[in-house]
Structure 1
Amino acid sequence: MFQLPRVPTTDQILPLMHQIIDELTQTRNSVLKATTPETATFANTLLPLAQTENAVQGQLAMIDMLQYGAPLRETQDVVHSALSVYAEAQAAWIANGDYFRLLRAVRDNREDFESLDAESQHLLERELTVYRMAGHGELDAEEVEGFLQEGANIGQIERKFQENISREDGGVWFTRDELEGVPASDLGKWKSDGEKEKEKLFVPFANGGTLAVLTYARRPETRKKMFLADNHKLQSNKPLFEKIIRQRARRAHQLHHSTHAEYRLQQRMVKDPKWLGGFLNNLKDTLCARGKDEIAVLQQRRVKDLGDKHDTDCVGFPPWDKSYYMRLVEEEVAVDQLQLSEFYPLEQTAIGMLGIFASVLGLQFEPLKADEGSLWHESVRVFSVWESTPDKQFIGYLYFDLLWRENKYRGNQSVNLQCGYLRPDGSRQYPATILMCSFPTPTPTSCALLKHHQVVTLFHEMGHGIHDLLARTKYVRFHGYRLPPDFGEMPSMMLENWCWMKEVLQGLSCHHTRLENSYLMEWRKQHPSSPDPPMKIPEDVVERLIKHRYLNRGLYHLYQLSISIFDLQIHSLKTDADISGLNVQKLWYDIREEVESMDFSECRDGYAFGTFSHLTAGYDVCYYAYLICTAMAQDVFLSVFAEGPFQKDKWEKYRREILQNGGGQQDLFQMLEKFLGRPPNMNALVEGLRRADSQH
């Protein structure tokens, strides 16, 4: 075991960052002083730097995490300053042409290169790619410096974009009448204006507010008002986003790449923009027809609701009605998500999920009492993770930071806090990883409850966490899911399948009223004529849920496809005319309307693209990863796990051949092909939907 990482205080962050930078700078300077292209080898050129990177990564990861998890804005401001200092240092390091020449000499030394293990070869190739993407080999020294400074400028704009999202605190005031249909559990979370006769509640866009109104509010005008207000938030991010896209394009052109997509795909599993465009167009051809059929069903239900009004109000299907009518259609044939959520209290569901992973992978998760200096917020929990073998080997630490709070990252993610790696003496540094989510907070009369899609999210993020805990690489650069995202999402998406298994859903369930007597008393007060709810979720509810797993699934994937096409198009600007003529706002709504078959005509003055964090947080030219990884995940699940989802020998093979490798394999397609015993089937997403249709 190793001591839990310490959380630096606000005034320690900048000095710690300078210390990290000094260590890395000294290592580089030592290499440059002692080595020439004639004497350069992997051992005296790249290995010393890799070992220093290994040693400082945990401190760097802690600072990086605090931009998402620190409760105080003051701390986040200091973190952003520290990350800017680090970005400047990185630019200075990579600007050094002497080091690039040493790396190139190492790669040209065939005998030395071929003597290296595969992960070390991969590290050298990856480092050379980083330097070439900085302009070395194409630009002179002064141009490289300018190129890197431009990259640092883009990074600062990206951080401002993200900061605006995390600090957005808008919302809409509604009367209780306007919020008719919204569950009491949501109403109880929102602040009141204190008026007795016409009380209004402030519904925030964040913490599940927008989603609750769009899903449950019975009045169409309420849903429309909420959607349009949410759609108009963060106008300040529009010019930032446009500037980022234009500057990315110009930088790519400077290195003689036709587009930023071509430039960026050098670091992805998919290398060819044409192949990617073909993959997305094929999905569009097959999924759009399905999406139109699904919208037609929602529209039919909407016409029935509107009655006499439908002649004028049903020309197109508006996006603010999507969640509401998807819910009604699901409830008619399948299950009430609100009722279902009563059986999935967050804390118990998360612990039950750990039990599943413990069983199939031979692990133990033990709660750990951590002192304040090891936690960044009082709600964070820590587990030590062990092999459940007789010798009980230690694996690492898992943190839960699961609830929404002010200033916290608004999405759901897994965050690495310490990579595992091999020390020079042969011993291993153990990893630590965080499930950092923003599930809606508890109400005064109930604990936090998960709808089924949130249970799926929990499993997805835990998939990243398991990948992080079980990887065994030599270098932090490749640890866990530090690999191209267009492969890295695959293990997590594969694990989503367990959220559709009867055994799992029943095993995880526990009606929240059984957790505390006060919850049961409150439930009886709200349901005076009903018997007490059962302990476990009824079997027929689970069966209906599973039977209709693919209901509205086309629309789910079409949303991903819209963003993926948008991502590729805004990063495919080939000429100065393309760059100056870019209209991000128009393109966003054009693509969404065409692909998703909804009427966005009243939304086109909005800024929804400015609320979308992925494309300014490392996922540029990568949102397609969710679609490609869904295809690979379905292929792996159907061909390996479907018939024996809990067979330990299959899990052991998967752990050994996929998870343990992290990003250490250079050819990820080849790694997957070896695991499957054949080339991956990239059509598995669509084939899975068709198979499901034929079964019903």
Structure 2
Amino acid sequence: MAPQQYRKPPQAPPKFTATPSSLIEDTHKLIDRSRGVQDTIVRDITSESASFANVILPMARDDNKMAIESHIIGFYQAVSTDKQLRDASTEAEKLLDDFGIESSMREDVFNLVDAAFKKNEILDPESRRLLEKDHKGYIRNGLGVPAGPKRDRFKEIKKRLSEISIVFQKNLNEENGGLWFAPEELDGVPEDVVALLEKGTGDKSGKVKLTFKYPDLFPTLKYATNAKTRQRVFVENENKCNENVPLFREAIILRDEAARILGYKNHAEFKIEDKMAKTPKTVDDFLGDLRTRLAPGGEKEIQQLLSLKKEDLKSRGEEQSDDGRYYLWDHRYYDRMMLERDYSLDQQKIAEYFPLQTTVRGMLQIFEELFGLVFIEIIGKDRDEIADTRKGSDIVWHDDVQVFSVWDDESEGSGFVGYLYLDLFPREGKYGHAANFNLQPGYVDEHGNRRYPATALVCNFSKPTPKKPSLLKHDEVVTLFHELGHGIHDLVSRTIYSRFHGTSTVRDFVEAPSQMLENWCWTPSQLKSLSHHYSYLTPEYEAAYKETAGTSEVPEERIPDELINNLIKTKHVNDALFNLRQLHFGIFDMTVHEPQSHEEIENMKVSETYNKLRKEISKLDGPEVLGDAEDWTWGNGQATFGHLIAGYDANYFGYLSSQVFSTDMFYTVFKADPMNGKEGRRYRHTVLERGGSQDEMKTLVDFLGREPRTDAFYKELGLSR
């Protein structure tokens, strides 16, 4: 039972009771209401009378209200177990996107926005930013192009790109393929992974089905001793969504055409113009410099891993299979083996100390201490009480989902903050990666009252078994903390308009707050506080551990210092190869969005470009070297690369460039004392609360007390000059 002061939040949580038909009906109502607001402004306001208050503000308030429903309408396609509901969500999102394109290209509305903009009224800073962003947005959506065939073509492209994005992500979410293996082909894969695989019947009798979901895929690539198994899994995973291949190609061609209609040289110039980097040259120079610095380290790491591969094959009497090459499907396997051999790092042993639920609680406690928050899980009768319908199941979309009410602690005023949802296990039709989804943004309504946010973490960690709870590898602990960081950013944001709420910042900054928080997962004191050996959770788990380990004793309850020290030492092992992999993604992204001419992108062999760049940048061999002649068409990794279709196009560099900011913030403020609550609260109020309501560089300068620098970033990577 929650403490009394936290029993009744001032705002009820959203409900997840939609049906396929209600989703479509509600979407049409939202669109009709919003179109009505625009029509009324056009009818009642003239260019002479146009102002922020009578043109921009009514539309901003309508955007606020629309977001309260539209985010959830689109969310169903990522999490619902009902295919009809997912399909309806997809259809609804297309309707909303089409309406968004229609709205953004209304010349009658733009004329009034332009008139209000030119009046140069005195406004508060966030309202000024809204006016400037809205005005620029209409121009970037084609209204700087004279009416006629070109503008019509631009609108047609925008609609088609919206369709592609929706179908592409739907294909990824609903991908349900896999490979059938005999048990011996999975030698080395942890038993608790194999035990959860689907058992074959009929002609598949005696085999198990390995899916491409993360809890199956990654352990197999890390532990399967059979190189042919790893190769097959890797290659098939690169080809799991080949229906997306033509969609990706069409998207990059259409983006280039649209950018040129607007007068830009290419899509990258269009997309980066309003980011912190401003120009493609800044991005290309950053990625190129980093590649130059990382390349020697990558070559050295490959040689060390090749030596380990040689020893491993010899120890298993398989010297004849050693061709002196280091393959893409070798890397997770030998990287893991190196960590175990040279650093005594047993990831399975470390995972025993990070059961999912105790780790989540530990992370929330860190956020409580650092940011002055209180998390109250809403369970049992409290769910019924908090739901207006008195039916607690209405406030979640699946039985697995946990929901928390989030509050300020006494030092922060004890006010309500919002709702946090955790959806942590894989299931059919569900979004396949780890991400934070805003369900409802926060803002200030027309009466001056705060509307509180709701945010959801959607992940895919292994499910518990009768003998073990869900256990997190250390990289999964980092992932969870990272996504929770996005969730906290979403929760504590305090903006006037939903447009700027939480993570609604420029793409080359948005990852920085979460990346900074990853450092806590490499801090000995925090690893110790997060840990809790699973054998202490229940008598059943204790008995199962003793049986499996063949011992009558249980280990220490908290992770031993020796294990922590071994883990910390591995933070930058094979780091050059990891970052070269990120560079491959970033440079491929720029390559397909920065062609010299439209003909160049039309003629580009996209899959070959993706695979060749990976080889050139990472130096890891793929199947292209196995035949008589090099074949670069063996895989279509870009077809599984949802980021480049879902908003990170010509922006993937942001993952690397925002690390510059995140490392600078951590080194400057938190490295000496990560749990400094005074600085944590200053970070909350100076950085996280601002969302996108002011220029992100101003946010950084306000927090750091100076312009950001790259020193800490290169020092952390061991690349200081």
Distance 2:353 2:491 in 1: 29
Equivalent in the alignment of 1:159 = 166
Deviations 1:661-696 (A, max 9, x none): 10000x2123212321221113532221227x99xx
Equivalents in 1 of 2:577, 2:495: separation in Å?
39
Report what 1:535 is aligned to.
557
Contact 2:238 2:635 in 1 (8 A): yes
1:200 aligns to 2:221 (yes or no): no
Once the two structures are superposed, the pairs formed by residues 100-179 of structure 1 within 5 Å of their partners are 100-110=110-120, 112=121, 115-140=122-147, 143-179=150-186
* Separation of aligned partners in 1, 2:465 and 2:202: 21
1:636 aligns with 2:645: no
Deviation of residue 119 (structure 1)? 0.7
Give, as a single letter, the amino acid of the residue that structure 1 aligns with 2:233: M
Against the structure 1 CA distance between its residues 183 and 119, is the aligned structure 2 distance closer, same or farther, given a 3 Å change threshold?
same
Question: Does 1:240 pair with 2:240?
Answer: no
**Corresponding residue of 1:377:** 398
- Equivalence for 2:419: 397
Candidates 349, 354, 366, aligned match of 1:344:
354
Once the two structures are superposed, residues 13-53 of structure 1 have per-residue CA deviations (whole angstroms, 9 ceiling, x without a partner) of: 01111111112111111111111111111011100110111
Are the equivalent residues in 1 in contact too, given 2:144–2:262 (CA < 8 A)? no
Cα distance per residue 1:206-231 (max 9 Å; x no partner): 14222111100112222122222222
Larger deviation, residues 481-490 vs 512-521: 512-521
Among all aligned residue pairs of Structure 1 and Structure 2, give the percentage whose two residues are the same amino acid: 34
Q: Is the 8 A contact 2:309 2:334 kept in 1?
A: yes
Equivalent position amino acid for 2:716 in 1: G
Please list, as runs of the form range in 1=range in 2, the aligned pairs for 1:365-514 lying within 5 A after superposition: 365-369=375-379, 370=383, 371-389=392-410, 391-514=413-536
Q: 1:641 Cα shift?
A: 0.6
Amino acid of the structure 2 residue aligned with 1:231 = E
Per-residue CA deviation, residues 468-527 of structure 1 (Å, 9 max, x unaligned), is 111100000000011112101100000000001111111111111221222222222222
Alignment of 1:256-335 (within 5 A): 256-307=263-314, 310=319, 313-334=322-343, 335=345
Q: State the AA in 1 paired with 2:641.
A: F
Q: Residue by residue, what CA displacement relative to the aligned partner does 1:227-281 show, whole Å, maximum 9, x if unpaired?
A: 2222232221111111111111111111111101011123422210111110000
Q: CA RMSD in A?
A: 1.9
What is the DSSP-based 3-state SS (H/G/I as helix, E as strand, rest coil) of the residue aligned with 1:417? Answer: strand
Aligned partner letter, 1:575? S
Which residue does 1:614 correspond to in 2? 643
**Matched residues in 2 for 1:614 and 1:522: separation?**
41
AA partner of residue 99 (structure 1):
V
Q: Does the CA contact (< 8 Å) of 1:395 and 1:431 recur in 2?
A: yes
On the 8 A contact 1:431/1:468 being kept in 2, the answer is: yes
Distance 1:575 1:298, change over 3 A: same
Alignment of 1:24-35 (within 5 A): 24-35=34-45
Corresponding residue number in structure 1 for 2:5: none
The Cα of 1:141 is off from its aligned counterpart by 5.1
Structure 1 position 146, deviation (Å) = 3.2
Question: What's the offset of the Cα at 1:374?
Answer: 1.4
1:406 partner letter: E
- Match in the other structure for 2:707: 679
Q: Could you say which residue in structure 2 is the equivalent of 1:51? A: 61
Of 44-53 and 287-296, the range deviating more from structure 2: 287-296
| Equivalent position of 1:670 in the other structure | 698
**Code of the aligned partner of 1:255:** L
Residue 553 (str. 1) matches residue 553 (str. 2): no
State whether residues 134 and 144 of structure 1, in contact with CA within 8 Å, keep that contact through their aligned partners in structure 2. no
> For the Cα contact (< 8 Å) 2:150–2:261, is it kept in 1?
no
Q: Return the alpha-carbon distance in structure 1 between the equivalents of residues 64 and 210 of structure 2.
A: 45
Contact 2:495/2:693 (<8 A) preserved: yes
Alignment partners' CA distance in 2, 1:604 and 1:688: 37
1:342–1:194 distance in 2 versus 1, CA, 3 Å: farther
Match of 2:370 in 1: 360
Instruction: Please identify, of 630-639 and 261-270, the stretch whose mean Cα deviation from structure 2 is larger.
Output: 261-270
* Contact 2:531 2:559 (8 Å CA) reproduced: yes
Aligned mates of 1:197, 1:636 — CA distance in 2: 54
Specify the code of the residue in structure 1 equivalent to 2:606.
V
**8 Å contact kept, 2:422–2:456:** yes
* AA of the residue aligned to 1:220: A
1:518-597 correspondence runs (5 A) = 518-529=540-551, 531-597=553-619
- TM-score normalised to the size of structure 1? 0.96
Structure 2 CA distance for partners of 1:142 and 1:28, relative to 1, 3 Å? farther
Question: What amino acid is aligned across from residue 542 of structure 2 in structure 1?
Answer: L
The DSSP-based 3-state class of the residue aligned with 2:142 is coil
Q: C-alpha distance in 1, partners of 2:298/2:544?
A: 41
1:46-72 alpha-carbon deviations (Å, 9 max, x no partner): 001101111221111111211211121
Counterpart CA distance in 2 for 1:128 and 1:477 is: 14
Could you say what secondary structure the match of 1:400 adopts?
A: strand
Contact 1:261–1:621 under 8 Å retained in 2: yes
Contact 2:667 / 2:712 at 8 angstroms: preserved in 1? Answer: no
- Unpaired runs of 5+ residues, structure 1, are none
- Report if the CA contact (8 A) 1:344-1:508 is conserved: yes
Structure 1 CA distance for aligned equivalents of residues 234 and 302 of structure 2: 18
Matched residue SS, 2:703: helix
The amino acid across from 2:513 in the alignment is P
Whichever residue aligns with residue 183 of structure 1, its letter is P
Decide whether the 8 Å contact of 1:245 with 1:571 is kept in 2.
yes
Distance 1:400 1:233 in 2: 27
Segment of structure 1 superposing worse, 511-520 or 375-384? 511-520
CA 1:196/1:561 → structure 2, altered by over 3 Å: closer, same or farther? closer
Give 1:332 shift: 1.6
Higher alpha-carbon deviation: 497-506 or 530-539:
530-539
**3-state SS in 1 of match to 2:503:** coil
- Deviation of residue 139 (structure 1)? 2.7
2:219 partner SS: helix
Q: Which residue of 2 aligns with 1:220?
A: 227
| Conservation of the 8 A alpha-carbon contact between 1:95 and 1:141 | no
Residue 6 of structure 2: aligned partner: none
Counterpart in 1 of 2:387? Answer: none
Query: Structure 2 counterpart of 1:290, which letter?
Result: G
Further displaced range: 637-646 or 231-240: 231-240
- Match in the other structure for 1:38: 48
In 1, distance between residues paired with 2:717 and 2:403?
38
Do the aligned partners of 2:256 and 2:598 also contact (CA within 8 Å) in 1? no
Q: Take 1:532 and 1:309, find their aligned partners in 2: how far apart are those partners? A: 38
Q: Cα offset for 1:604?
A: 4.0
The structural deviation recorded for 1:195 is: 8.3
Deviations 1:322-380 (A, max 9, x none): 00000010112331111111111111101110001001111110111331111111111
Q: Alignment partner of 1:403: what SS?
A: coil
